[in-house]
């Protein structure tokens, strides 16, 4: 075999090896990548009305439920607790009584354990152990704040150690994250005030910082509902305003 033939065989061998390697990379079965570890979303103290936002309908929010006041992030169990799943009704709710009675019933979604039998309480304890072993506690259910207008005014941003709150039709929102908009120097300095009429009328007048909608047109009332929906979705609901 002459030198030229030898070189051709060597080149052919190298090309064959490269081609085989490429085909193996393209078509050889590969192990799937390891699943990403889910990091639970801490929410801290949360009233039930805020917990209800975490029912799975908003894919950007973690899936939460509460058992005897402890809030669990059950996002990894979306196939059980997500919308349309067998226990999807439980998401966004306190479900202690429902677990005790093994009842997928909205009327039983409460922390009221009055009248339960010993066996039902033991069933609840078993469920709690199951949740503790599978999911992370990320907060606790707390009663909603009940603020008078005077108390609400203390959350206007003038005290740096306090959050910023505003009220829409009596529902109090924590808008601290939007301080650039709603704080004292913002374009809409509504913090510490009821602002339903102002939102309806696209007004920043002090006289419109009230829940009195007298004289507002249907279009303005529709505008208020739109603002209310958007702000209640974006910011945490922390309580309500009570009249003095």
Partner residues linked to 174 by β-bridges: 165, 236
Residue closest to 96 by CA, chosen among 130, 124, 54, 134:
124
- What is the C-alpha to C-alpha distance for residues 98 and 105, in angstroms, rounded to an integer? 7
- What is the C-alpha to C-alpha distance for residues 142 and 123, in angstroms, rounded to an integer? 24
C-alpha pair distances (Å), 153 with each of 59, 106, 162: 34, 37, 11
**The predicted structure's pLDDT at residue 7:** 63
| 138 or 11: which leads in pLDDT | 138
**The predicted structure's pLDDT at residue 109:** 97
Global model pTM greater than 0.75: yes
**The predicted structure's pLDDT at residue 35:** 60
**The predicted structure's pLDDT at residue 26:** 56
- What is the C-alpha to C-alpha distance for residues 101 and 114, in angstroms, rounded to an integer? 12
Average pLDDT of span 8-29: 61
**The predicted structure's pLDDT at residue 1:** 55
- The long-range contacts involving 227-232, CB below 8 angstroms and separated by at least 24 positions, are 227/168, 227/199, 227/200, 228/168, 228/169, 228/171, 228/196, 228/199, 231/168, 231/173, 231/175, 232/168, 232/171, 232/173
**The predicted structure's pLDDT at residue 12:** 65
Per residue, the 3-state secondary structure of 149-168, as one string, reads HHHHHHHCCCCCCCCCEEEE
pLDDT band at 191 (very low <50, low <70, confident <90, very high): very high
Taking only the tens place, the pLDDT of each residue in 65-93 is 999 999 999 999 999 999 999 999 999 99
**The predicted structure's pLDDT at residue 27:** 56
Taking only the tens place, the pLDDT of each residue in 149-190 is 999 999 999 998 999 999 999 999 999 999 999 999 999 999
Taken in order of first residue, the domains within the chain and their CATH numbers are 44-141 (3.10.120.10), 145-241 (3.10.120.10)
**The predicted structure's pLDDT at residue 78:** 94
**The predicted structure's pLDDT at residue 243:** 83
Token output for 232: 């209640």
């Amino acid at each position: 075999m002459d030198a030229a033939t030898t070189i051709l065989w060597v080149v052919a061998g190298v090309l064959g090896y490269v081609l085989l390697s490429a085909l193996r990379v393209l078509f050889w079965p590969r192990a799937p990548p390891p699943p990403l570890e889910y990091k639970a979303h801490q929410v801290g103290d949360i009233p039930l009305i805020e917990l209800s936002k975490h029912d799975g309908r908003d894919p950007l929010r973690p899936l939460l439920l509460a058992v005897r006041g402890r809030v669990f992030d059950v996002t990894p169990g979306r196939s059980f607790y997500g919308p349309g799943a067998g226990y999807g009704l439980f998401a966004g709710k306190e479900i202690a009584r429902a677990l005790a009675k093994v009842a997928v019933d909205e009327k039983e979604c409460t922390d009221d354990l009055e009248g339960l039998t010993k066996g039902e309480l033991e069933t609840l304890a078993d469920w709690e152990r199951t949740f503790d072993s599978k999911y992370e506690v990320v907060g606790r259910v707390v009663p909603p704040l009940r603020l008078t207008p005077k108390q609400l005014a203390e959350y206007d941003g003038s005290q740096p150690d306090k959050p910023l709150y505003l009220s829409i039709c009596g529902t109090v929102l924590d808008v601290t994250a939007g301080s650039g908009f709603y704080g004292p120097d913002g374009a809409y300095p509504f913090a510490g005030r009821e602002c339903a009429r102002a939102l309806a009328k696209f007004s920043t007048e002090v006289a419109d910082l009230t829940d009195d909608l007298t004289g507002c047109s249907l279009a303005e009332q529709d505008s208020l509902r739109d603002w209310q929906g958007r702000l209640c979705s974006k910011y945490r609901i922390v309580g309500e305003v009570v009249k003095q």
